[in-house]
Structure 1
Protein backbone atom coordinates (compact mmCIF):
# COMPACT_ATOMS: atom_id res chain seq x y z
CA UNK A 1 0.00 0.00 0.00
CA UNK A 2 1.42 3.37 -1.00
CA UNK A 3 1.02 6.30 1.34
CA UNK A 4 1.37 9.98 0.46
CA UNK A 5 2.93 12.50 2.84
CA UNK A 6 2.21 16.22 2.55
CA UNK A 7 3.95 19.23 4.10
CA UNK A 8 1.38 22.00 3.74
CA UNK A 9 2.61 25.58 3.80
CA UNK A 10 1.00 28.88 2.91
CA UNK A 11 2.58 28.98 -0.57
CA UNK A 12 3.60 25.39 -1.33
CA UNK A 13 2.79 21.77 -0.58
CA UNK A 14 5.68 19.34 -0.39
CA UNK A 15 4.78 15.84 -1.61
CA UNK A 16 6.34 12.48 -0.76
CA UNK A 17 5.17 8.94 -1.50
CA UNK A 18 6.13 5.64 0.12
CA UNK A 19 7.39 2.58 -1.67
CA UNK A 20 4.82 -0.21 -2.13
CA UNK A 21 5.99 -2.00 1.03
CA UNK A 22 5.55 1.14 3.15
CA UNK A 23 9.17 1.15 4.31
CA UNK A 24 10.68 4.27 2.76
CA UNK A 25 9.51 7.73 1.74
CA UNK A 26 10.65 9.43 -1.46
CA UNK A 27 10.22 13.12 -2.14
CA UNK A 28 8.20 13.69 -5.32
CA UNK A 29 7.72 17.40 -5.86
CA UNK A 30 6.67 20.76 -4.48
CA UNK A 31 3.32 22.14 -5.63
CA UNK A 32 2.73 25.90 -5.67
CA UNK A 33 -0.54 26.92 -4.02
CA UNK A 34 -2.35 30.19 -3.36
CA UNK A 35 -4.54 30.19 -0.24
CA UNK A 36 -6.01 33.62 -1.04
CA UNK A 37 -7.26 32.44 -4.44
CA UNK A 38 -8.39 29.06 -3.03
CA UNK A 39 -5.88 27.16 -5.21
CA UNK A 40 -4.69 24.27 -3.07
CA UNK A 41 -3.05 22.01 -5.64
CA UNK A 42 -5.74 19.33 -5.44
CA UNK A 43 -5.69 18.73 -9.20
CA UNK A 44 -1.98 17.83 -9.11
CA UNK A 45 -2.37 15.89 -5.86
CA UNK A 46 -5.13 13.87 -7.55
CA UNK A 47 -2.82 13.08 -10.47
CA UNK A 48 -0.12 11.85 -8.08
CA UNK A 49 -2.66 9.75 -6.17
CA UNK A 50 -3.66 8.02 -9.42
CA UNK A 51 -0.11 7.66 -10.73
CA UNK A 52 1.19 6.03 -7.53
CA UNK A 53 -2.07 4.32 -6.52
CA UNK A 54 -2.03 6.04 -3.13
CA UNK A 55 -4.37 4.52 -0.52
CA UNK A 56 -3.74 6.81 2.48
CA UNK A 57 -2.57 10.39 3.02
CA UNK A 58 -0.52 11.76 5.92
CA UNK A 59 -0.67 15.53 6.40
CA UNK A 60 1.90 17.23 8.60
CA UNK A 61 0.34 19.03 11.57
CA UNK A 62 2.60 21.89 12.68
CA UNK A 63 2.12 22.04 16.44
CA UNK A 64 3.74 24.63 18.66
CA UNK A 65 6.48 23.42 20.98
CA UNK A 66 4.01 23.59 23.92
CA UNK A 67 1.74 21.14 22.03
CA UNK A 68 -0.88 23.77 21.10
CA UNK A 69 -2.15 24.26 17.56
CA UNK A 70 -1.73 27.68 15.98
CA UNK A 71 -3.05 29.20 12.73
CA UNK A 72 -0.86 27.05 10.44
CA UNK A 73 -1.98 23.94 12.29
CA UNK A 74 -5.63 24.92 11.91
CA UNK A 75 -5.04 25.52 8.18
CA UNK A 76 -3.49 22.04 7.90
CA UNK A 77 -6.53 20.49 9.61
CA UNK A 78 -8.88 22.17 7.13
CA UNK A 79 -6.63 21.10 4.24
CA UNK A 80 -6.75 17.49 5.52
CA UNK A 81 -10.56 17.55 5.80
CA UNK A 82 -10.86 18.91 2.25
CA UNK A 83 -8.49 16.21 0.96
CA UNK A 84 -10.55 13.48 2.60
CA UNK A 85 -13.74 14.81 1.03
CA UNK A 86 -12.17 15.34 -2.40
CA UNK A 87 -10.45 11.96 -2.75
CA UNK A 88 -12.42 9.66 -0.43
CA UNK A 89 -9.19 8.35 1.10
CA UNK A 90 -8.24 8.10 4.76
CA UNK A 91 -6.30 11.22 5.78
CA UNK A 92 -4.31 11.34 9.01
CA UNK A 93 -2.63 14.30 10.69
CA UNK A 94 0.94 13.71 11.85
CA UNK A 95 2.92 15.86 14.30
CA UNK A 96 5.54 17.53 12.15
CA UNK A 97 7.29 19.71 14.69
CA UNK A 98 10.76 20.58 13.48
CA UNK A 99 10.50 18.63 10.19
CA UNK A 100 11.31 21.69 8.08
CA UNK A 101 14.18 22.61 10.41
CA UNK A 102 15.53 19.05 10.20
CA UNK A 103 15.28 19.12 6.40
CA UNK A 104 17.10 22.48 6.36
CA UNK A 105 19.87 21.04 8.55
CA UNK A 106 20.35 18.03 6.26
CA UNK A 107 20.55 20.27 3.22
CA UNK A 108 23.02 22.62 4.95
CA UNK A 109 25.21 19.67 5.94
CA UNK A 110 25.12 18.51 2.32
CA UNK A 111 26.32 22.02 1.34
CA UNK A 112 23.29 22.67 -0.87
CA UNK A 113 23.09 26.30 -1.98
CA UNK A 114 20.37 28.55 -0.57
CA UNK A 115 18.69 28.80 -3.99
CA UNK A 116 18.54 25.01 -4.39
CA UNK A 117 17.46 24.50 -0.75
CA UNK A 118 14.47 26.76 -1.31
CA UNK A 119 13.35 24.55 -4.22
CA UNK A 120 13.52 21.25 -2.34
CA UNK A 121 12.92 22.06 1.34
CA UNK A 122 9.15 21.40 1.32
CA UNK A 123 9.51 18.15 -0.62
CA UNK A 124 12.17 17.01 1.84
CA UNK A 125 10.02 18.02 4.84
CA UNK A 126 7.16 15.94 3.36
CA UNK A 127 9.56 13.03 3.06
CA UNK A 128 10.57 13.39 6.72
CA UNK A 129 6.93 13.60 7.85
CA UNK A 130 6.05 10.47 5.89
CA UNK A 131 9.16 8.59 7.02
CA UNK A 132 8.32 9.38 10.66
CA UNK A 133 4.85 7.94 10.14
CA UNK A 134 6.20 4.84 8.33
CA UNK A 135 8.77 4.22 11.06
CA UNK A 136 6.06 4.39 13.71
CA UNK A 137 4.13 1.65 11.91
CA UNK A 138 6.99 -0.90 11.90
Structure 2
Protein backbone atom coordinates (compact mmCIF):
# COMPACT_ATOMS: atom_id res chain seq x y z
CA UNK A 1 0.00 0.00 0.00
CA UNK A 2 1.21 3.51 -0.83
CA UNK A 3 0.73 6.42 1.56
CA UNK A 4 0.65 10.03 0.40
CA UNK A 5 -0.42 11.87 3.54
CA UNK A 6 0.50 14.83 5.69
CA UNK A 7 -0.26 14.84 9.41
CA UNK A 8 -1.37 18.17 10.87
CA UNK A 9 -1.50 19.38 14.46
CA UNK A 10 -3.66 22.49 14.00
CA UNK A 11 -3.51 25.19 16.65
CA UNK A 12 -4.55 28.82 16.81
CA UNK A 13 -0.96 30.10 16.45
CA UNK A 14 0.88 27.24 14.70
CA UNK A 15 0.31 24.17 12.53
CA UNK A 16 2.69 21.26 13.07
CA UNK A 17 3.25 19.30 9.85
CA UNK A 18 4.56 15.72 9.52
CA UNK A 19 5.11 13.41 6.59
CA UNK A 20 5.88 9.77 5.95
CA UNK A 21 7.61 7.72 3.32
CA UNK A 22 5.45 6.07 0.64
CA UNK A 23 5.44 2.75 2.50
CA UNK A 24 4.28 4.38 5.73
CA UNK A 25 7.27 3.05 7.65
CA UNK A 26 9.03 6.21 8.79
CA UNK A 27 7.26 9.34 10.01
CA UNK A 28 9.00 12.64 10.65
CA UNK A 29 8.17 16.23 11.45
CA UNK A 30 8.58 18.44 8.39
CA UNK A 31 7.87 21.99 9.51
CA UNK A 32 5.78 24.20 11.74
CA UNK A 33 3.69 26.82 10.02
CA UNK A 34 3.43 30.05 12.01
CA UNK A 35 -0.12 31.09 11.24
CA UNK A 36 -0.41 34.53 9.68
CA UNK A 37 -3.37 34.41 7.30
CA UNK A 38 -5.55 31.81 5.61
CA UNK A 39 -3.97 32.50 2.21
CA UNK A 40 -0.40 32.22 3.54
CA UNK A 41 -1.20 29.01 5.45
CA UNK A 42 -2.78 27.49 2.31
CA UNK A 43 0.15 28.58 0.12
CA UNK A 44 2.64 26.82 2.41
CA UNK A 45 0.49 23.68 2.56
CA UNK A 46 -0.02 23.73 -1.22
CA UNK A 47 3.73 23.89 -1.73
CA UNK A 48 4.29 20.88 0.58
CA UNK A 49 1.46 18.96 -1.10
CA UNK A 50 2.90 19.48 -4.58
CA UNK A 51 6.47 18.74 -3.47
CA UNK A 52 5.46 15.49 -1.76
CA UNK A 53 2.57 14.47 -4.08
CA UNK A 54 0.06 14.36 -1.21
CA UNK A 55 -3.55 13.21 -1.55
CA UNK A 56 -4.69 13.05 2.11
CA UNK A 57 -4.56 15.37 5.10
CA UNK A 58 -4.63 13.58 8.46
CA UNK A 59 -5.73 16.11 11.04
CA UNK A 60 -5.59 15.65 14.78
CA UNK A 61 -8.93 16.34 16.41
CA UNK A 62 -8.59 17.54 20.03
CA UNK A 63 -11.49 15.76 21.70
CA UNK A 64 -12.24 16.61 25.32
CA UNK A 65 -11.19 13.94 27.80
CA UNK A 66 -14.83 12.76 28.01
CA UNK A 67 -14.86 12.17 24.23
CA UNK A 68 -16.98 15.22 23.38
CA UNK A 69 -16.07 17.88 20.82
CA UNK A 70 -15.28 21.22 22.42
CA UNK A 71 -14.75 24.65 20.92
CA UNK A 72 -11.18 23.97 19.74
CA UNK A 73 -12.15 20.67 18.08
CA UNK A 74 -14.93 22.45 16.18
CA UNK A 75 -12.45 25.13 15.04
CA UNK A 76 -10.07 22.41 13.83
CA UNK A 77 -12.90 20.66 11.95
CA UNK A 78 -13.86 23.93 10.27
CA UNK A 79 -10.22 24.58 9.28
CA UNK A 80 -9.71 21.02 8.00
CA UNK A 81 -12.89 20.90 5.90
CA UNK A 82 -12.15 24.30 4.35
CA UNK A 83 -8.49 23.42 3.71
CA UNK A 84 -9.18 20.06 2.06
CA UNK A 85 -11.90 21.62 -0.09
CA UNK A 86 -9.56 24.39 -1.25
CA UNK A 87 -6.57 22.06 -1.72
CA UNK A 88 -8.56 19.22 -3.32
CA UNK A 89 -7.50 16.55 -0.83
CA UNK A 90 -9.04 13.70 1.12
CA UNK A 91 -9.53 14.33 4.84
CA UNK A 92 -9.14 11.95 7.76
CA UNK A 93 -9.36 12.82 11.46
CA UNK A 94 -7.45 11.13 14.27
CA UNK A 95 -8.12 11.50 17.99
CA UNK A 96 -5.19 13.60 19.13
CA UNK A 97 -5.85 13.74 22.86
CA UNK A 98 -2.53 13.97 24.70
CA UNK A 99 -0.30 14.05 21.58
CA UNK A 100 1.24 17.41 22.56
CA UNK A 101 1.79 16.10 26.09
CA UNK A 102 3.35 12.92 24.66
CA UNK A 103 5.57 15.00 22.34
CA UNK A 104 6.75 17.10 25.30
CA UNK A 105 7.51 13.95 27.32
CA UNK A 106 9.56 12.54 24.42
CA UNK A 107 11.55 15.78 24.23
CA UNK A 108 12.17 15.87 27.99
CA UNK A 109 13.41 12.27 27.91
CA UNK A 110 15.90 13.36 25.22
CA UNK A 111 17.05 16.32 27.32
CA UNK A 112 15.42 18.90 25.02
CA UNK A 113 13.82 21.94 26.65
CA UNK A 114 10.10 22.27 25.91
CA UNK A 115 9.93 25.86 27.10
CA UNK A 116 11.43 27.43 23.97
CA UNK A 117 10.65 24.70 21.45
CA UNK A 118 6.90 25.07 20.85
CA UNK A 119 7.42 24.60 17.09
CA UNK A 120 9.24 21.30 17.68
CA UNK A 121 6.41 20.14 19.97
CA UNK A 122 3.91 20.88 17.19
CA UNK A 123 5.95 18.91 14.61
CA UNK A 124 6.35 15.95 16.97
CA UNK A 125 2.62 16.02 17.79
CA UNK A 126 1.84 16.01 14.04
CA UNK A 127 4.16 13.01 13.64
CA UNK A 128 2.31 11.17 16.45
CA UNK A 129 -1.01 11.94 14.74
CA UNK A 130 0.27 10.55 11.44
CA UNK A 131 1.72 7.46 13.16
CA UNK A 132 -1.65 6.78 14.78
CA UNK A 133 -3.39 7.02 11.40
CA UNK A 134 -0.88 4.69 9.76
CA UNK A 135 -1.34 2.14 12.56
CA UNK A 136 -5.11 2.23 12.01
CA UNK A 137 -4.66 1.85 8.22
CA UNK A 138 -2.42 -1.22 8.69
CA UNK A 139 -5.01 -3.09 10.76
CA UNK A 140 -6.67 -5.94 8.82
Cα contact 2:60–2:129 (8 A) shared by 1? yes
Residue 20 of structure 2 corresponds to residue 18 of structure 1: yes
**Other structure's SS at 1:114 match:** coil
How far off its partner does 1:131 sit?
Answer: 0.4
What's the TM-score, normalizing by structure 1?
0.92
Runs ≥4 residues deviating over 6 A? none
Alignment CA distance shift 1:50-1:39 (3 Å): closer
Match of 1:81 in 2: 81
Cα contact 1:18–1:26 (8 A) shared by 2? yes
- Return 5+ residue gaps in structure 2 as ranges: none
Cα contact 1:33–1:39 (8 A) shared by 2? no
**Other structure's SS at 2:55 match:** strand
Q: After the TM superposition, which of the residue ranges 15-24 and 119-128 deviates more from structure 2?
A: 15-24
How far off its partner does 1:116 sit?
Answer: 4.8
Cα contact 1:80–1:92 (8 A) shared by 2? no
Residues of 2 paired with 1:115 and 1:70: CA distance?
26
Match of 1:65 in 2: 65
- Return 5+ residue gaps in structure 1 as ranges: none
How far off its partner does 1:71 sit?
Answer: 1.0
How far off its partner does 1:23 sit?
Answer: 2.5
Match of 1:126 in 2: 126
Aligned residues: CA RMSD: 1.5
**Other structure's SS at 2:136 match:** helix
Q: 1:24-48 CA deviation, whole Å, 9 max, x = no partner?
A: 32110000114xx546611100100
How far off its partner does 1:118 sit?
Answer: 2.1
